[in-house]
Structure 1
Amino acid sequence: MRRLRAPYRSLRLRLLAGVLAWVLLSVAVAGWGIQQLFRQHILAQLQSELTIHLDQLTAALQIGEDGRIALSPLPSDPRFSHPFSGLYWQISAPTQHDKPAQMLRSRSLWDSYLPDAPAELQPGRDLRTTASGPGDAHLQVRMREIEPAEGPFDTLVLSVAADRALWAEPISRFDRMLGMALGVLVLGMLVAAWMQVSYGLRPLVRLRGRLADVREGRADRIVGAFPTEIRPLVEDFNQVLQRNEQSLERARQQAGNLAHALKTPLAVMSNAAAAADPALPQLVVEQVDTAHRQVDYHLARARAAAAVRVTGLRSPILPLLQGLVRVMQRVHAERGLRYELDGVDADLAFRGEAQDFQEMLGNVLDNAGKWASHRVWVRASRRDGELEIRVEDDGPGLSPERAETVFERGKRADERTPGSGLGLGIVRDLADLYGGWARIEKGALGGACVVITLPAA
């Protein structure tokens, strides 16, 4: 698998990269939006100013008795008096096809003219347009056509224009100020993000130190106060440590139990061999069989303990029970016992190893066959995510006190019945390892009923 580059292995850098990308995108969009709003505001203010000047021209317009056009008073804005100041006005008579017979212009136009009125200009409605002005300047022009009540002119065109520099320079200055302000904002947000990420990741640094204490043996658990988001991880890890400790302790105990269980058969055979006991061959067979059972018992526990940690195990129980019933019918063929499977659906499955299921049910079915008179009844069902297997016989049954005793390793319900006393002890131990349980209660056939609960797949 391809190894990740170093920057992508750093959670801090990944968080900061995400914050940086989001901050830059947000600030860029916000800056663009603010810039557009300011530009629209400046242009709207410019148009409003041109409208005011146009209204002043309209109000000040006078036509003398001799038909000459005059303004009284002149527009008050001093920029109209400075040549090429960028603010201009003009009054013309567009009905003359050659140069207008009369034309009034602001001093700021000097020897230049504003453009003639376009065809779409209508009386009573102002027209906004653009044109080239003095020095090829880009102008915003506002025109108005009026019809004087007296005088020789049918219509007059009043024009007010402003150079692009009048609004471009404030917008450019605002853009520079906005860029610097947003740059400072980005730096401030990045510093805040760095501090926030560093503060937010500090519990992980503390967790790393606690893990180092566990690894070096200075502590057996992760201790300390951690945030709500990290606390489940700490608790789960502590549970893993506890389970490992329990598994280690269980392995030590099993090793000790196995050693103790094998010590007795070895001691018996050693003593018999030293004493030259003539029954030594038979004694060896019996003690080897006992040792073999002990080894099988502890191997079954070890296998079940390992299987519990494996996910995805699924063992259908119907074919397993059918195979065990066939075996038990042959084992107890001389007694004519009848094993019956009832209500075991084909979709029922055990979440574990099939060998462990056979180990448990084989012991239970064999034990039921030893005590049954004529019949052994086997049922299985699923309830609340668990399998419940019930094995009943029509034997004499057990009292509640004796029912618990038979689950103890080495204990038997009747010492006269052959066996080592390990069978039902194995059943409960394996069921317990899988998170289940085994118990004995009064059965419907009059005898004992062994009930085993196991996790269902």
Structure 2
Amino acid sequence: MSGLKPVAALAGGRGSLRLRLLVGTLVWIVLAIAATGWGLGALFSRHVAQQFHVELRTHLDQLAANLVFDADGQAVLKAPLSDPRFARPYSGLYWQVDRIDGAVPEIGVLRARSLWDVALAVPADALADGEQHAHRVDGPDGAPLRMIEQVLRPAEQPQAALRLIVAADEGLIGEPVARFTRLLALGLGLLGAGLVAAALVQVRIGLRPLARLRGGLAEVHEGRRRAIEGAFPSEIQPLVDEFNAVLVRNAEIVERARTQAGNLAHALKTPLTVLANAAAQPARGQPGEPVGGGEGGALARLVAEQVGLARTQIDYHLARARAAAAAGIPGQRTPLRPALDGLLRLMAKVHAGRGLEIGPAGGADALVFRGEAQDLQEMLGNLLDNACKWAAHRVRVEARATAGGRLEVAIDDDGPGLPPAVREAVFGRGVRADENTPGSGLGLAIVRDLARLYGGDIALETSALGGLRAVLTLPAA
């Protein structure tokens, strides 16, 4: 049923709705987490850098507050700075005081113990009183430092110009940022995994009604249901209702078409029966002419022959029209075993006088034909009747399931068989393998037409019994 394909595509495979939803959700999650990580990382780095510079300015203010001149006019600290790192060599936190009021600046006239015996090389730039500049310089161990400087003119000696410097290792910025980045990556990774899991669950739950819809369509297609049953979400329920309405309308249209075809056949058969009965009456010839002889008898025979052909053609086209309508109706199911057993009993009665060994039908117990029972009986009946007409002693029937959701019925006889060159020709309408054998020549043609209407076929082969083997392939339910 072609209507199943779009619904199957909703659940998986090429053009999958589930895949689209998941890919869209995953892309959005990745972009959102990446943007969040970048934004939080940038904000934290900026915050740490600002705090770093605030701390440097605090140390610089403390250095300026503790700087005094002794009796000899030398700059000294009246108290050590509060941060103990200034007293630990190469701790990463340094201060330095330069005297710049002379022709030759005195670098490092005062410096923190943390500098040990190294003086910081600071760019020579002009600073106004109270102005602060920031630079990046190399530390005592070659590590990059960030520093701020300020020119100070003490009230005790306004002519003396001192440059106050406080510097700190850039690692004091990078280390907390790195730790925060690792924790942020871990947290966002866990968040992303949780969001992906939630998206999977959401898509699975959200698309579950479509899976139910697909299952309902499959049940209709396989004949287990006449319509899709169950309650669906409001977005899907109108589709289900419309589909069920289409099924009902199709069934009504097919039933009307079949009824009209039957009425037409009945309307045609009635005058044909009258003509056949009239043709069967003894012809009234001229005096002295034998009954049934002459032109009247020839006309009667011609009428009877043409009436028989017309009946055969009506039966053929009626069967084909009925099968064409039934093949398009979903939900048709016919168990193979009861149909075969009934036909075998019928054939045994019809050909009782010949002493044929007919059947049994092996392997048909669990097989179900996806189609109408009358069409199955039409096909199997023609093949069995044909095999019994030609069989010498035995007719064998075997059935089996094949790949691709098919069933296969093989009917063998031990008759004379057919040469391969004429096997295809006997499928033509009105063609008989032997003109002396009773029949219309439409049996195999009807079987092939009906089988192909259901997507199956029939093939003629050489039987292991020595005669003909007819292999009928049909869709299985």
Is the TM value for this pair above 0.5?
Answer: yes
**Is residue 2:110 matched to residue 1:104?**
yes
Equivalences for residues 98-137 of structure 1 within 5 A: 98=104, 100=106, 103-116=109-122, 118-137=124-143
Return 5+ residue gaps in structure 2 as ranges: 1-8, 286-295, 304-309, 315-320, 326-477
TM-score by length of 1: 0.56
CA gap of 1:111–1:202, structure 2 versus 1, over 3 A, is same
Corresponding residue number in structure 1 for 2:215: 209
1:216 maps to a residue whose letter is E
In the TM superposition, what is the alpha-carbon distance from 1:17 to its structure 2 partner? 3.0
1:281-430 alignment runs, 5 A limit: none
**Paired residues of 1:112 and 1:134 also in contact (CA < 8 A):** yes
Give the equivalent residue in structure 1 for 2:91: 85
User: Offset of 1:68 from its aligned partner?
Assistant: 0.8
Change (3 A) 1:7 1:71: farther
CA distance change for structure 1 residues 85 and 102 in 2, over 3 Å: closer, same or farther? closer
Residue 64 of structure 1 is aligned with which of 56, 61, 70?
Answer: 70
Instruction: Indicate the residue corresponding to 1:50 in structure 2.
Output: 56
2:172 match: 166
Match for residue 32 of structure 1?
Answer: 38
Which residue does the alignment assign to 2:3? Answer: none
- The answer on whether the counterparts of 2:68 and 2:77 sit within 8 Å (CA) in structure 1 is yes
Cα distance, 1:14 vs structure 2: 4.0
Paired with 1:80 and 1:209, the residues of 2 have a C-alpha distance of 77
CA–CA distance in structure 2, aligned partners of residues 59 and 128 of structure 1? 20
After superposition, residues 218-237 of structure 1 pair within 5 angstroms as 218-237=224-243
Q: Distance in 2 between matches of 1:215 and 1:172?
A: 61
How many residues were matched structurally? 284
Q: Whole-Å Cα distance in 2 between the matches of residues 48 and 277 of structure 1? A: 135
Residue 95 of structure 1 aligns to which amino acid in structure 2?
D
CA distance in 1, matches of 2:201, 2:29: 15
The letter of the residue matching 2:182 is R
Which runs of structure 2 are paired with 1:175-194 in the superposition (5 Å)? 175-194=181-200
Structure 1 residue 67 displacement after superposition: 1.2
Residue 269 of structure 1 deviates from its aligned partner by: 4.3
Q: Percent identity?
A: 50
Deviation at 1:51, TM superposition (A): 0.9
1:140 match: secondary structure = strand
Give the letter aligned to residue 234 of structure 2. Answer: T
SS of 1:104's partner is strand
Superposition deviation, residue 105 in structure 1? 0.5
Q: Distance in 1 between matches of 2:222 and 2:209?
A: 20
Q: Secondary structure, in 3 states, of the residue corresponding to 1:88? A: strand
The structural deviation recorded for 1:168 is: 1.1
TM-score by length of 2: 0.54
Aligned to 1:242: 248
Deviation at 1:163, TM superposition (A): 0.3
- Sort the Cα spacing of 1:14 and 1:255 in 2 relative to 1 into closer, same or farther, 3 A: same
Aligned counterpart, 2:264: 258
> Could you say what secondary structure the match of 1:91 adopts?
strand
Task: For 1:33 and 1:99, locate their aligned partners in 2 and report how far apart those are by CA, in whole Å.
Answer: 45
CA deviation string 1:287-334 (max 9, x = no partner): xxxx9xxx9xxxxxx9xxx9xxxxxxxxxxxxxxxxxxxxxxxxxxxx
Unmatched tracts of structure 1, length 5 or more: 285-290, 296-301, 307-457
Q: 1:67 to 1:17 in 2, by over 3 A?
A: same
Identify the match of residue 156 of structure 1 among 150, 153, 162: 162
With over 3 angstroms needed to count, the CA separation of the structure-2 counterparts of 1:236 and 1:30, relative to structure 1, is: same
What SS does the corresponding residue of 1:259 show, helix, strand or coil?
Answer: helix
| CA apart distance, 1:8 | 4.3
CA–CA separation in structure 1 for the residues paired with 2:284 and 2:36? 101
